Structure 1
C-alpha cells in the first residue's frame, strides 16, 4: 500500500516546493479538483513511475509498476485509437475445484509474501530515514564552521559552497597537510585584502658613525689651568680648577671676592685669569665642538626613526625594533650628557659607551622586518595565487578538524547500509518465492480462463447502460482479441463512428474487466496486490451516466479486494455519489479525501467532507477567488455563464436574463462579446470559442453584477459574494433565498 506520494518539478508542480500527501493507510483515496489543477499528473506518475521526467517525484514505499493499473486518456489512446481491434481480457470462466484450490493457496502464499515484503520495505525505508537523519545531523554540525568564518576575512574561501550539501562535500574532499592555523590565515588574508594591492615601502638601514667622537682622546684628559700663575700649584693641589673657572665670571673690579667675600687686589685677579689661558680655552672649545657634533647625530637619528616609514602596524612583527631603537637613542643621549659634563668640568675624565652594538641591533631588526615586507610585497604582486593557497589551507584545516565527526557519521551510515543490503537479500529470496507462486497461478489459470466471459460481461453492461447499437466480439476463433461491431451488422470502422461519450463508456468497461483479469495468459492476477487508479472517467459523458459510472466503480472497484484505489475527478456530483454510495454522511471508514488546487503551482491538500461545495457554489467561489488571484482569470467568463444559466433557469426568468444581456451589450460595446458569450449558452452551436485573454477582472465582475441589478436580483449577488446587501425588494428576496436553499441542499 502506498503511504505517501510527492510530486515535484513536473507539469504544474513546483520544482522548489514539493507537493506531498499521506494516505494514512487508507484503501480508497478520492481526489477533487477543477480541470487544469494537476490531477492527471498524479495518475500519469503512477502509470509511469520509472519515467525520467518523474525523477524528483517519490512514492513511499515503492510499488512494482506491474501492480498499478491506471485508467486515463493514455489508457484509452493506447488501447483504442487507430486500431481495428484490441487485446482480450482473460478471466476465470470454468469451475475446477482442484485448480481453484491451487490458485487460492498460491494467492494466500503470495499475500503472506507481500506482507513480509512490505514489512521489509518499511524497515528499509526506516533505515534510509536513519541515514538521512544522520547525514542531516552531520551537515548541520559541519555547517556551524561555515557560520563561524563567513563574517571574517576568510569568507572568500566559502564562495561556491554556501549550501549545506556542497559545503559538506567540500570538507570531505579537502585532504592535505598544513601547519597554518585559522588565526594565521585570517591575519594573512587581512593583510592581502586590507592593503588593497598597495606594496609596503622598503626600510633603509640607519647609517651613522660616532665611533671617532666616542673614542676622542680629549675625553680622558684632565684639563687644568696654566702653570704660569703663582696660583697654579695651589689650584692643582686643591683639584678644583673647574670650580675656580666657573667662579671667574663672577670676579669684578671693586667688588668683593665671590669665593671669600674679601676685597681683592688687582694682582690676585690677574693671577686667576692667568690660570685659564688660550690653551685651556682651546681645549674647552674642542669639547664643545665634540658635543655639538654628537648632538647633531642624535637629532638626525631621532628625526629619521620618527618618520612614518619606521612606524609599523600591529599586524607586522617588529622583532623588538621599538625597544632596540629606544635603547640606542637613550644610550646616545646618555653619552651626550657626559659630553656636557666634560664641557663644564674639563678636569673630569669621561668614558662614553660604544653605541655601535645598539645600532647593529636596530639594523638587524630592520633587516628582519624588511624580509617580511619582501614576502608581503611578493604576495601582493601575486595576490590571486596566495588567496588560492589560503583557501586550500582553510579547507584542509576544516577537513582535519571535522575528520573524527565525519568518520563517525560514515561509520554509522556504512553499518546501516549493511543492514539494508541484508534486507535486500531477504527481498531477493522473497521475489524468488513470489515468482514460484505466480507461476503456479499462471499455469492453473490457463486451464480455466478465456476471453469469452469478459466479452459477455462488457456486452451485458453496454446493454444495461442503454447502448444497444454496438457490442464487442472475438476477432476470430484462433485470436484472443476483441473488435467492436454494429448490432445491425452495418459498417466496418465502427469505433471511429462512436461519439466521445460512447468511446469513454466502452473503454471504461474494458478497463473494469482488465482490473480483475489480464490481457495475457502469462500473467498472474492477484487482486489484493493491485492498485487501481481512475482519472476522470466521466469527462466526456453527459450527466445521465454519472450515477451509473459511480455505481460501477463503487461495486466493482471500491468494494473489491484491490490493495488500494485512487479516483480523481473534476465533477462534484460524481464525487458526492462515490461517497453517498458508501455512507450518507461523514467520511466513510477506509476512505480519505483530497482537494487538488492550483494557483502559481499545484497543491494537494486533505479535504473534509463538510468542506465540499456544490457546483453552483464552486462557480461563485471562482469569481470570489479571481478578485485576489489573477491566475483564475481565464475561468471567469465560463463561471459567470454557468451561474446565470443555473439561476435564471431555476427562477424561470430566462427571458429577463436575455433582455438584460442584450440591453447591456448595446450600452456597453466594450463588453458586448462577453454578454453575447453568456447569452449563447454552453452548447448553443458547434462554434463556441471566444478569446478573453488579458481581461480586466474587476471590470468584468462589475458587469456581471450589473446583470443581477438589471434583473432586480442584486440581493442574490451580494449574498453569494459575501458582501453587505443593500435594501432588497421583497419579491427578489423571497425568490433568491428559496433558490439558494434548494441549490445548496
Structure 2
C-alpha cells in the first residue's frame, strides 16, 4: 500500500535504521506500519515502528486493533496507510480476526479444506531438503543484491556508477551553459539535468552530424530558431554593362583635329592648339568675318580655309563625344537611382553600411568620369582616360548578391523548416559532444569495469532466480504428493473431543476440498453453534491453516501470522488452551526452522494478554525479538504507544496506569477511578463510604457520591459502559476528589505509592461552573 499522506520524517528515519538492522540479520518481516484516516486513526496518524518477530498489541474494544490486522492482511483499500517490509519483499499474511470468521464460517458455502502433510516421511524429508536449498539460493540472491545495491539498498556497484553518472550530468550541464545562445536546440531539456544527460548519452551513440564552428551555428540558429521567419522578395540585379561599354569608347583616347592639307593647317599646327582656334570660330562667325583675335577684317578665302579645316569628320567626332556624354549621364543616373530604391536599401538581409559606402565610392567615380567626358568635349584634341568603375560596380553588386543568397536561404528554410531544424539541432549536439569529449572519455573508462560487474551480477541473479523458481516447483510438486485435507479433520476433531466438544465435528464435504460441520446425527451444525463453540472451532481451523494451505501446495511458504482477539466468548479453560497453541506457533517461529517469520498478537483481554506473554524463563535476550504496544483511544483519536516491557501487570495496575496517563482520558476517567475505589475498598474492608461522602461539600460531595455509587448498585451497572466526555476542568476535579477520598479515609499512602513519580497535589478552581458537576451527578444517578 502506498499512502497519499506524507509520512513523518522521524518515522521514515526509524524505518530506515530498522531496515538496515534486519538486512544485516537476514530477517524478512514487517518493519513498520503507519495508520492514518482509517477507523479511529485520524489524519495525523500513528505508527508501529521497529517491529520485531513477536509483537503484542493491547487495547480496548473499538480502539483500532482490527484496523491494524486488516491493513496487515492487505485485503482492503487503505490509501493513507503504509506497510514497510524488510528488503521490500512482502510475505504471505495469515490473519485471524472477525473477518476471517465471517468469511469462513458465517458464509453459506462449505468450509475450505486445509491441506497439511501426511505421514510419508521420505517425501517430507525431500521437501525439507528442497526447502533448505531454496533458502540457500534465496540467501545467495540476497548477497548478490547486496553486492549490487549495498546493505541499505542504495549503495554497492550501482551506487558507485550512479555517483559517476551524477558527475557526468553536472559536467555536461556546465558545458551546455556555455552554449546558451544555442539553447533552442535543447528545447524541452533546458530545465531537466537528468533528461538532458540521457539525451546526451543517446547522441554519443547515434550522432554523426557535420562538425561546425560555434559562430556558424549561432548564425544559423538566429534564423532557424527565430520563430519569426517570413518569405522575402529577391533584390533586383542592376545591369551596369552599358556604363562599362561607354567607358571604353575609342573617341575618348583619340585626338580630334582639323584637316591637315588645308593651307591654314600649317598655321594652326604651328600654334599647336586647334581647340583654341575651334573655340574662337564662334566669335568669328558673330563678328561677320572680323578676326576675334587681331580685330582685322578677313577675306572670304580665310573663312573657306577654316571651314575646310574643321570639316564634317571633325564635326561628327564632336557629335560622338556629345552623345557619349549624354548616354553616360543617363546610365549613371538610372543606376544610382536603382541602388537607392527602398526595396534594396531597406532590406534586412543587406549589409547596409558597407553597401552605402561602396555606392558612395561608385557615385564619386561616375561623376568624375562625366566631368572628364565634358572636358573632352571642350578640348577634343586632348585624350581622356576615365576611371575604371568595374571593380566598384562589382563590389556594390556583390552586396546585392550576398543579400539575395540570404534571402534564398531564408525562403528555403521556410519551405524546409523541419528538416533544417533537425539538421541544426544535430549539429549543435555534435558541437557539444566535441567540447565534452575528454569528459565523456573519462566517464566511459571509469564506468566500463562497473558496467561489466553490474551486468555479470545481474546475470547471476537471473540464473539464481531461475534455480529458485525450479526449487519452488519441486517443493510444490512434492507437497501435492503428500498434502491432504484429511489430517486437518482428524486433528481438529481430536482437539474438540478432548475439551468436551462432542456434539459436533468436522467431516469432508461432498464437494472435493471442503469441510462441513455436522452433529452426531449427521445434521448440519454450522448455523446452530454457540458463540463459544464457533470461536473455538474457528481458532482451531486457523491454527491448522498456519501450518498448511488452502491449496495442495504452498504450505511451506514464508508467512506473517496475526491473532486478533482470538479468545472472544471462550471459557477460561479453553482460553488457556488457545494461549498454549499460540505459544506453540511462537516457539516454532523462534526455532528458525519454521515458515512462520513474524507473529502479531492483538487483544483487549487482560487475562489472555498476561497468559500469552508469560514466559517461564525471563531473560534479556527474550526482549530482543518482541515489542509491546498499547492502543490508547481518546474521544478524538487512537494512538499507539510503545513500551520497553510488558505494560499490562494486572487489571488493577492497568486502571492506575490510566490515572497516571498524561493527559488523562476524558472518556474513561470516571469509570476508571470508580472501579479503583470499588476494587481497593472492597478488598480492604471496614470502610464506610457514607462517612467518606460526608467529608465533602457542594459539588465535590456530588462527585464523591457518584464515585462511591457501587455501595448500593454493585460493581456492574449501567454506568460502567457510560460514554461521556468531560472538559479538562471536570477531569481535574474528578481526580482531585478521587485523591481526597484516599486521604480522608486514611489511605493516602496507598495513593502516593500507586501514583509514584506522578504524585502531586491536584488543585481545581473552586469557582468552576457547578452546573457541569450537577449535570454529571444527575446523569450518574439516573443511569
Closer/same/farther in 2, CA of residues 573 and 545 from structure 1, 3 Å limit: farther
**1:649 pairs with 2:671:** yes
**1:114 pairs with 2:147:** no
Secondary structure of 1:494's aligned partner: coil
**After the TM superposition, which of the residue ranges 644-653 and 298-307 deviates more from structure 2?**
298-307
Which residue matches 2:247?
214
Secondary structure of 2:506's aligned partner: strand
Secondary structure of 1:123's aligned partner: helix
Closer/same/farther in 2, CA of residues 58 and 399 from structure 1, 3 Å limit: farther
Which residue matches 1:82?
108
Secondary structure of 1:567's aligned partner: strand
State the structure with more CA Rg.
2
Post-superposition Cα deviations, 1:533-571, rounded to whole Å, max 9, x if no partner, equal 317446988999999799568623333234521538697
Which residue matches 2:588?
560
Post-superposition Cα deviations, 1:648-707, rounded to whole Å, max 9, x if no partner, equal 323559x999x99xxxxxxxxxxxxxxxxxxx99978xxx9xxxxxxxxxxxxxx978x4
Secondary structure of 2:624's aligned partner: coil
| 8 Å Cα contact 1:547-1:574 kept in structure 2 | no
What residue ranges of structure 2 are gaps of 5+ in the alignment? 42-66, 280-291, 297-309, 633-638, 649-653, 676-697, 704-717, 737-761, 774-783
Closer/same/farther in 2, CA of residues 76 and 727 from structure 1, 3 Å limit: closer
Separation of aligned partners in 2, 1:135 and 1:471: 68
| 8 Å Cα contact 2:110-2:514 kept in structure 1 | no
Q: Per-residue deviation at 1:373?
A: 1.5
Q: Per-residue deviation at 1:351?
A: 1.4
Q: How does 1:288-367 map to 2 (within 5 A)?
A: 296=333, 300=337, 303-304=340-341, 308-312=345-349, 326-327=357-358, 329-334=360-365, 336-337=367-368, 340=371, 349-356=383-390, 358-360=392-394, 362-363=396-397, 366-367=400-401
Secondary structure of 1:650's aligned partner: helix
| 8 Å Cα contact 2:182-2:221 kept in structure 1 | no
Separation of aligned partners in 1, 2:166 and 2:673: 66
**1:202 pairs with 2:230:** no
Which residue matches 1:8?
2
Q: State the TM-score, normalized to the length of structure 2.
A: 0.52
Separation of aligned partners in 2, 1:306 and 1:182: 33
Which residue matches 2:407?
373
Secondary structure of 2:668's aligned partner: helix
Secondary structure of 2:108's aligned partner: coil
Of residues 66, 69, 72, the one that matches 1:43 is 72
| 8 Å Cα contact 2:628-2:647 kept in structure 1 | no
Q: Per-residue deviation at 1:218?
A: 6.4
Q: Per-residue deviation at 1:492?
A: 3.7
Q: Per-residue deviation at 1:646?
A: 0.4
Post-superposition Cα deviations, 1:201-223, rounded to whole Å, max 9, x if no partner, equal 32111344423653456644679
Separation of aligned partners in 2, 1:205 and 1:595: 97
Q: Per-residue deviation at 1:352?
A: 1.6
Q: Per-residue deviation at 1:573?
A: 8.3
**1:420 pairs with 2:453:** no
Which residue matches 1:729?
765
| 8 Å Cα contact 1:203-1:370 kept in structure 2 | yes
Q: State the TM-score, normalized to the length of structure 1.
A: 0.54
Which residue matches 2:543?
512
Q: How does 1:159-238 map to 2 (within 5 A)?
A: 164=194, 168=198, 172=202, 178-179=209-210, 187-194=219-226, 196-208=228-240, 209-211=242-244, 213-215=246-248, 219-220=252-253, 236=272
What residue ranges of structure 1 are gaps of 5+ in the alignment? 1-6, 246-266, 272-276, 598-604, 625-641, 661-679, 689-702, 717-725, 737-745
**1:533 pairs with 2:561:** yes
Closer/same/farther in 2, CA of residues 175 and 491 from structure 1, 3 Å limit: same
Separation of aligned partners in 2, 1:455 and 1:652: 45
Aligned pair count reads 592
Separation of aligned partners in 2, 1:594 and 1:394: 63
Closer/same/farther in 2, CA of residues 171 and 490 from structure 1, 3 Å limit: same
